[in-house]
């Protein structure tokens, strides 16, 4: 068995794990036990766990380096903490050497993990550190799952009573560009027999991959949709989000309306306020008109400065918010977390690459 032909246990859905074990004569009860140990307890070493003999024999024969299956355990390259103690950012190295970021954040006692779905990103958003790196590859389901399990293990060392209740796919990469792997990972992470993160506590952030938004709606996926908009006209948006040239603003808005009609769910629109680019009162007024008829909540995000772009002044942001609220849209400023630990997407990796990891 070569490393290339080995498979991560974290890549397997519960049904796949059950099928594999049953083919070896290991019954469903043992599959549930193994699933709980891997995904519920997040154990990183199966050698000492007191499994019953049928499962122990299967693990000894099939799990480990050079065997059929392995555990996805990314290496921690760096870990930094914010000065307020509310944010931890991890730089993780995958088995092939790719580097990704994962962030653990605390909001009023709620623990949230922000995960990456790709190594790099193909969307090329000009104000995003990850977008400026380019795209390397998609992450596997197990590589997405392993980030959450790593954050849970860290949280357990801080306070065993705390658990991760919220998950956002707003790290490196475009989740809907890696649709199939992301859906497998989310099914695993929301499984009550394992990590048990409630589906309604999981947010998928996209720059607007129109076919995948429609697919989410048609498949009735239970997760929350967050659309990174950032522009109220085609010209304004395409200057910041190159993907808008492939999926123009009008087609994105049409897809959002169809999503709302099919699912009955509110859409969260993310708007990063960039000084002199998209923070004017005129832009806010256009945004109100653009989103007319959509059940929308707008999150205003202060920009983590990168690539020559800077965030708006607080008075500009406040005026922007007032116009949106007057237009009938719930609108909040997202709490800023971890600016002193380069918590903006891709910023820590970019910093480390500059210093040679």
178 and 45 in a single domain? The answer is: no
Which of 39, 55, 70 is a domain's end point?
A: 70
CA angle 190, 209, 184 (to 5 degrees): 25
The predicted-structure confidence for 198-255, as pLDDT tens digits, reads as follows 999 999 999 999 999 999 999 999 999 999 999 999 999 999 999 999 999 999 999 9
Choose, from 114, 256, 331, 345, the residue flagged as catalytic: 345
CATH (domain of 209): 3.20.20.70
For residues 37 and 123, state if they share a domain: no
Which residue has 């049409």 as its token pair? Answer: 254
> How much of the chain, in percent, has pLDDT values that exceed 70?
89
- 136 compared with 345, residue with greater pLDDT: 136
Is residue 84 predicted with pLDDT exceeding 90? no
What proportion of the chain, given as a percentage, has pLDDT over 90? 79
The pLDDT of 261-286, averaged and rounded, is 95
Higher-confidence residue: 91 or 5?
A: 91
pLDDT recorded at residue 289: 98
The 10s digit of each residue's pLDDT in 110-167 is 999 999 999 999 998 888 887 778 899 999 999 999 999 999 999 999 999 999 999 9
Residues 6+ apart with CB under 8 A from 266: 260, 295, 296, 297
Give the pLDDT of residue 2.
Answer: 47
Domains identified in the chain, total number: 2
Q: What's the confidence (pLDDT) of residue 23?
A: 96
Q: Which of 107-111, 165-169, 339-343 has the lowest mean pLDDT?
A: 339-343
**190, 260: one domain:** yes
pLDDT at 276: 87
Same domain, 60 and 89: no
Could you give the CA distance from residue 226 to residue 189 in angstroms, rounded to a whole number? 19
User: Where is average pLDDT lowest: 66-80, 243-257, 333-347?
Assistant: 333-347
- Asked if 151 and 220 sit in the same domain, the reply is yes
What's the pLDDT score for residue 349?
52
Question: If you write DSSP's letter for every residue of 43-65 in order, what string do you get?
Answer: -S--SSS---HHHHHHHHHHBST
Average pLDDT over every residue of 81-103: 95
- From 26, 45, 70, give the residue that closes a domain: 70
- Are β-strands 87-93 and 75-81 bridged in parallel, bridged antiparallel, or unpaired? antiparallel
Told to judge if 270 belongs to the known catalytic residues of this protein, a careful annotator would answer: no
The mean pLDDT of the chain is 91
Taking residues 256-267, report their average pLDDT.
Answer: 98
Can you give the pLDDT at residue 103?
97
Query: Residue 305 pLDDT > 70, yes or no?
Result: no
Average pLDDT over residues 57-76: 96
Tell me, yes or no, whether 104 and 250 share the same domain: yes
- Is the pLDDT assigned to residue 351 strictly greater than 80? no
Report phi then psi at 274, rounded to 5: -115, 120
Count CB-CB contacts under 10 A for residue 188: 26
| Domain co-membership, 85 together with 195 | yes
Per-residue pLDDT at 169: 98
> Is 65 one of the catalytic residues?
no
CA distance 333 to 346: 21
Is the domain of 136 the same as that of 43? no
The band of 52, judged by pLDDT with boundaries at 50, 70 and 90, is very high
CA distance 193 to 33: 9
Segment 82-101 mean pLDDT: 95
Confidence band, pLDDT 50/70/90 cuts, at residue 85: confident
Q: In this model, does residue 267 exceed pLDDT 70?
A: yes
Question: Are 48 and 28 contained in the same domain?
Answer: yes
Out of 101, 143, 174, 236, pick the active-site residue: 101
For the residues 176-181, what does the mean pLDDT come to? 98
Residues 119 and 24 in one domain: no
Q: Is 63 buried (19+), middle (13-18) or exposed (0-12) by CB count in 10 A? A: middle
Structural domain of 15? 3-70
Q: How far from each other are the two terminal CA atoms of the chain, in whole angstroms?
A: 31
Residue 100 and residue 195 in one domain: yes
More confident residue, 307 or 178: 178
Tens digits of residue pLDDT in 21-42: 999 999 999 999 999 999 999 9
Q: Select from 21, 37, 70 the last residue of a domain.
A: 70
Maximum distance among all alpha carbons in the chain? 69
pLDDT-derived band of residue 19, with 50, 70 and 90 as boundaries? very high
97 and 158 co-located in one domain:
yes
> pLDDT grade, residue 344 (50/70/90)?
low
Q: What is the pLDDT of residue 300?
A: 95
> If residue 112 lies in a helix (H) or strand (E), which one and from where to where?
strand 110-114
Sign of the CA dihedral with 335 first, then 272, 347, and 115 last: positive
């Amino acid at each position: 068995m070569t490393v290339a032909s080995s498979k991560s246990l974290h890549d397997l859905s519960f049904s796949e794990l059950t099928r594999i074990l049953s083919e070896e004569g290991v019954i469903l009860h043992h599959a549930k036990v193994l699933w709980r140990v891997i995904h519920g307890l997040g154990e990183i070493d199966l050698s000492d766990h007191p499994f019953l003999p049928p499962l122990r024999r299967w693990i000894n024969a099939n799990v480990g380096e050079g065997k059929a299956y392995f555990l996805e355990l990314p290496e921690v390259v760096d870990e930094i903490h914010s000065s307020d103690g509310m944010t931890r950012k991890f730089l993780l190295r995958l088995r092939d050497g790719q580097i990704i970021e994962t962030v653990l954040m605390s909001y009023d006692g709620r623990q949230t993990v922000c995960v990456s779905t790709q190594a790099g990103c193909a969307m090329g958003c000009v104000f995003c550190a990850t977008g400026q790196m380019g795209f390397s590859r998609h992450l596997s389901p197990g590589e997405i799952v392993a980030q959450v399990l790593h954050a849970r293990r860290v949280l357990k060392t801080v306070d065993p009573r705390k658990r991760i209740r919220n998950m956002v796919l707003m790290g490196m990469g475009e989740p809907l560009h890696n649709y199939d792997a992301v859906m497998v990972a989310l099914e695993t992470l929301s499984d009550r027999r394992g990590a048990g993160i409630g589906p309604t506590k999981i947010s998928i952030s996209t720059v607007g991959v129109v076919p995948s938004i429609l697919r989410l709606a048609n498949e009735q996926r239970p997760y929350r949709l967050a659309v990174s908009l950032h522009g109220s006209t085609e010209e304004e948006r395409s200057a910041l989000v190159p993907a808008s040239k492939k999926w123009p603003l009008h087609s994105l808005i049409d897809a959002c309306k169809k999503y709302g009609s099919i699912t009955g769910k509110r859409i969260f629109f993310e708007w990063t306020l960039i000084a002199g680019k998209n923070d004017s009162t005129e832009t806010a007024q256009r945004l109100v008109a653009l989103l007319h008829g959509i059940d929308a909540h707008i999150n205003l995000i202060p920009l983590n400065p990168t690539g020559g772009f800077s965030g708006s002044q607080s008075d500009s942001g406040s005026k922007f918010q007032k116009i949106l609220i007057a237009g009938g849209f719930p609108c909040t400023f997202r709490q800023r977390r971890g600016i002193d630990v380069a918590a903006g997407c891709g910023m820590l990796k970019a910093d480390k690459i500059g210093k040679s990891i």
